[in-house]
Chain A
Amino acid sequence: MAERKKTRPKAKAKSGTKVKSVRKPKTAAKTGPKPKSKGPDIKGLVIRVCLGTGGLAAGSQEVIDAFHDELKAQGLEAIVKKKCVNKTGCRGFCAKDVLVDVILDGSTSTYQRVRPEKIGRIVEEHIIKGQPVEEWLVGPDYHTFHDKQTKILLKQCGQIDPEDINAYIGIGGYEGAKKALSLTEFEVIEEVKKSGLRGRGGAGFLTGLKWEFCSMSRAFPKYIICNADEGDPGAFMDRSIIEGNPHSVIEGMIIGGYATGANIGYIYIRAEYPLAIERLKIAIEEATKKGFIGKNIFKQGFDFTIRIKEGAGAFICGEETALIASIEGKRGMPRSKPPFPVNKGLWGKPTVINNVETLSNLPSIITKGASWFASIGSEQSKGTKVFALTGKIKNTGLIEVPMGISLKEIIYDIGGGMEKRNRELKAVQTGGPSGGCIPASHIDMSVDYESLMRIGSMMGSGGMVVMDNYTCMVDMAKFFISFTQSESCGKCVPCRIGTKRMQEILTRITGGKGKEDDIDLLVELGTDIKLSSLCGLGQSAPNPVLSTIKFFRKEYESHIKKGICPAGVCKALRQYVVNTENCKMCGKCARVCSSGAVIWQPKQKAVINKSKCVKCGACFDACPFKSIM
């Protein structure tokens, strides 16, 4: 990470000149003479382009192609190394994709929002002349975004080529597995237990303990499953880890398989992640060729194979027993525990199921030691946690922070504060659709398993949605419960019908038809669903509703009793009126109104007929004087 800090923007250039300056050198380059000696030593040139799903969507493949074309056009192809343009995984700062590192003479410069048309100038000025294009370099927010983070898992994402096993080996990859296999199974488990690593899938069960339960069984065969069925809306940490560093997951599985005595590993990954699946397949193939997977791996007499199972798109299959049912070819539905999968899992055999993030923590725990890992984080929650930071915040993306960091630091230091000026933080939703809402008043709380539980939320898989004061909490709760409702497997009554009824009550409230006792009904129903549902989905589905009622009850009451949505989100509760003071009598509002609700004559102020108004908001958008409210 030290390299990156050398990049400091010195001058801010006006963006207006960007396009022009790109074209000039490009046309000149084709005919111009080949520069020599004056520039830096380009033999050691390395260009790293972020090629995660986010990067690809932003056009990173085109950027890579453009680099190749440009280097060829400049006649530099023969000088630079063949693989100087490296594809890497996501480094987290997706808001500024495509991010490109140019490493020249040992110093790294990072460019943000790179587009193919910018390549010409970068090659011309930076690579040939040694002068980085200052105006396109990353700004200070890139550094604030990264400085507060502690990167263990994401460290290599964005640095190494995920499709090249040698790149992973080059940074000490597979050393952990090698070391683990030289220890006894008991020693590995003890080490993991000592590290205090807890499952990153949401529940936070101690990984070492889970392994110990599985290792105690003498049944054969045993299985280890990597749960990569990441389904929370907006969460993409598992995908990024697999796309950026698939070998770390495989290595974690080898360690886990060895410690628990499982010879067969399954990676259950959702089919909606084609790039991650592709990279996993390449990684498994390469690891097999190197002898890291297969018979007698590392020549230690341990056999280990990995199979990939693609999920068919059901959210519930992230629940471990549903996941097992799905691998077995049954409908993905959870079953009651006990028996727990460590006793009776896949095909009735002992099975350990770990999340992607948990597994990719293991190589560094084994190589660097349990005490190193335990030194990071809080009292009860060790290590780091990756969050997908989204919502009304400036710097969205993937972040990795030590456990116990305060919410405030995440939102204001890493996230850069609210996206729009003059808006205030209202709440943070953690743990995805099963988590709860944390109000702005609790912003100083520390982010760890216990604190989140205490406040009625949960760690979950690590989604973090930031909301400002223009977010309606009732509407937000409705959104999340609609998600869990449509993803319920239908097995148990409270989850299947209960969440449906909660969703209907919330729809009623946001539609202006709420009843006096609706809040109490929501609380009673929510509590009963939590108590009586079969699996984690139903047991946590009411969390967004219950936590918003707990902290924002007044907002619910305002919807029901006053018919007002304080955030102005709920359409049915909106009322459009013309502020006669500001109205300039232009008539634009009347022209856009499709329902004939705006009454306007030339040189007269507009009036809105409420009985005809369908609240589409067209007049509001059309008014140039902000006189419609």
Chain B
Amino acid sequence: MPEKKIKKVKIDGRKIACEREETILQAAKKAGIEIPTLCHDDRLEPYGGCRLCIVQVKGVVRPLPACTTPVTNNMEVCTENDIIRRIRQNIIALLLSNHPNDCMKCEKTGDCALQDLAYRYDVDSTRFEGEKWDLPIREDNPFISYEPNKCILCGRCTRICNEVVMAGTIDLVGRGFNSMPDTAFRRPRTIDNCEFCGQCVSTCPTGALTDKKGRGRGRSYEMKKVRTTCSYCGTGCNFDLNLKDGKVVKVTSAYDAPVNHGNLCIKGRYGYDFIHSADRIKTPLIRRGDSFHEATWDEAIDLIADRFSGLMKKYGNKTVGAFSSSRCTNEENFLIAKFARTVFKNNNVDNCARV
């Protein structure tokens, strides 16, 4: 392996020390210089599709995309000048020329990268007139809504599906103006071809892909975000419960989540119906006779302690053991093992993940 060499780069007049494989975009981000982009996602390989991140590198005639161009020693970069600004404005205007002008009722308003950039660059959305896609909204499955008309073809959904999830459910189909992300042979999304992890939704910068369950239930700026750890398995993914009026409306995950970096599976992202379910058990239940009766935690724990002590007294401490769940965290599993060894004084410890 070659040694990590430090490279010195100048971006907008600021000197930055970079590591060998870094791109201009990464170097700029480190220095707090923001370069606009629509197709970049830290979880994905650099793509260079939206062309918004183009920057002027000294000594190179053509502007270069910051997301795919690696830094070289003594490189001098200008992230915005008149030409670059004009090109960016035109690119956004081109995107808007094939984008429905319905931000007023769009699910993504307030959290939309395209909207933000159009605002930032003061783009005239009517500059280029012409054909617009007029395709129906696709709601062929219970989790993901797809509005092709809002798609900007940044390719993030298709790449996350192929690079991260490796499910290969969607890819770009068609050519030219008519290329768009879709399933093979444009079949509906079903359990046969999709995992419904919603990763594509998580990376979509516009309102093209949205969580069906959260549609119409509030915009992102209205939500209170509560960070928690997923209770479905021991991986420990962090996510944010999006609350509106005290109810969980949807689940999102931030890139800074240490374990999962914003990635979630179907359970974490969409398996939250139980939270507000009427059937949900909220207190311990103790069986008396043929039926269960609600109890307090103290009552329940006392009962368990009594029964365990009784069993050990009657049959010996080797006859009891602890069986834990893979849905518990590492720490919880550690505690139950410790409990068995110190209280039961045996090694009868097991976990469902073993099988």
Q: Which of A's residues lie within 8 Å of B, judged by CB?
A: 314, 331, 333, 335-336, 338, 485-494, 496-501, 504, 524-525, 528, 531-534, 539
Contacts and interface: CB of A to CB of B under 8 A. Distances in A.
Contact of A488 (B46, B98, B177): B177
Interface in B89-136: 90-91, 94-95, 97-98, 128-131
Nearest to B91: A493
A528 B87 contact: yes
B65 interface: yes
A492 B48 contact: yes
B94 A493 contact: yes
A488 B175 contact: yes
Interface in B132-174: 152-153, 155, 171-172, 174
A315 to B, nearest CB: 9
Contacts of B95: 493, 497
Considering the complex of A and B, which 7 residue pairs feature the smallest CB-CB distances, nearest first? A490-B179, A336-B68, A336-B48, A497-B94, A504-B130, A500-B177, A488-B176
29 contacts: A336-B46, A486-B176, A486-B177, A488-B179, A489-B172, A490-B172, A490-B176, A490-B177, A490-B178, A491-B155, A491-B172, A492-B50, A493-B49, A493-B91, A494-B51, A494-B91, A497-B98, A498-B94, A500-B176, A504-B129, A504-B131, A528-B91, A531-B54, A531-B62, A531-B87, A532-B63, A534-B48, A534-B51, A534-B65
Given A494-B94, A504-B131, A528-B90, A487 B51 contact: no
Contacts of A533: 51
B234 interface: no
Contacts of A491: 47, 49, 153, 155, 172
Interface in B165-215: 171-172, 174-180
Nearest to B154: A493
A492 B91 CA distance: 10
A401 to B, nearest CB: 31
B83 interface: yes
B236 interface: no
A162 to B, nearest CB: 33
Interface in B37-90: 46-52, 54, 62-63, 65, 68-70, 83, 86-87, 90
Given A490-B176, A528-B91, A532-B51, 16 more contacts: A314-B175, A336-B48, A336-B65, A486-B175, A487-B176, A488-B177, A489-B172, A493-B50, A494-B51, A497-B94, A500-B131, A501-B130, A528-B86, A528-B87, A531-B83, A533-B51
B54 to A, nearest CB: 6
Contacts of B91: 493-494, 528, 532
A534 B94 contact: no
A492 B94 CA distance: 11
Contacts of B180: 490
A497 B97 contact: yes
Contacts, number: 105
Nearest to A482: B176
B338 to A, nearest CB: 48
Given A493-B94, A501-B130, A532 B175 contact: no
A490 B174 contact: yes
Contacts of B152: 493
A405 to B, nearest CB: 29
Interface residues of B, number: 39
B148 to A, nearest CB: 13
Nearest to B171: A331
Contacts of B94: 493-494, 497-498, 501
A524 B128 CA distance: 12
Contacts of A524: 90
Contacts of B171: 331
Contacts of A335: 48, 68
A552 B189 CA distance: 51
Contact of B70 (A338, A486, A499, A504): A338
A331 B155 CA distance: 12
A247 B276 CA distance: 73
A499 B128 CA distance: 11
A496 B153 contact: yes
Contacts of A492: 48-51
B90 A490 contact: no
Given A331-B171, A336-B65, A493-B94, A500 B50 contact: no
Contacts of A487: 175-176
Contacts of B97: 497, 501
A497 B178 CA distance: 10
A206 to B, nearest CB: 19
B49 A338 contact: no
B129 to A, nearest CB: 8
B177 A485 contact: yes
A476 B48 CA distance: 31
Nearest to A533: B51
A336 B68 CA distance: 7
Contacts of B177: 485-486, 488, 490, 496-497, 500
B176 A501 contact: no
B83 A496 contact: no
Nearest to A338: B70
B192 to A, nearest CB: 21
B179 A496 contact: yes
Contacts of A499: 176
B27 to A, nearest CB: 16
A491 B87 CA distance: 17
B159 to A, nearest CB: 11
Q: Which of B51, B83, B178 has the most CB of A within 10 A?
A: B51
A539 B291 CA distance: 76
Contacts of B83: 531
Contacts of A488: 175-177, 179
Contacts of B129: 504
B172 A534 contact: no
Contacts of B62: 531, 539
Q: Which of A331, A532, A533 has the most CB of B within 10 A?
A: A532
B70 to A, nearest CB: 7
B176 A485 contact: yes
B130 A500 contact: yes
Contacts of A539: 62
B87 A532 contact: yes
A496 B175 CA distance: 9
Contacts of A490: 153, 172, 174-180
A254 B65 CA distance: 36
A498 B52 CA distance: 14
A274 B28 CA distance: 51
A498 B128 CA distance: 9
Contacts of B175: 314, 486-490
A183 B123 CA distance: 61
A488 B171 CA distance: 16
A314 B176 CA distance: 11
Nearest to B130: A504
Contacts of A333: 172
B48 A331 contact: no
A336 B23 CA distance: 12
Nearest to B152: A493
B240 to A, nearest CB: 31
A531 B90 CA distance: 12
B352 to A, nearest CB: 39
Contacts of B51: 492-494, 532-534
A525 B98 CA distance: 16
A538 to B, nearest CB: 9
B69 A338 contact: yes
A521 to B, nearest CB: 8
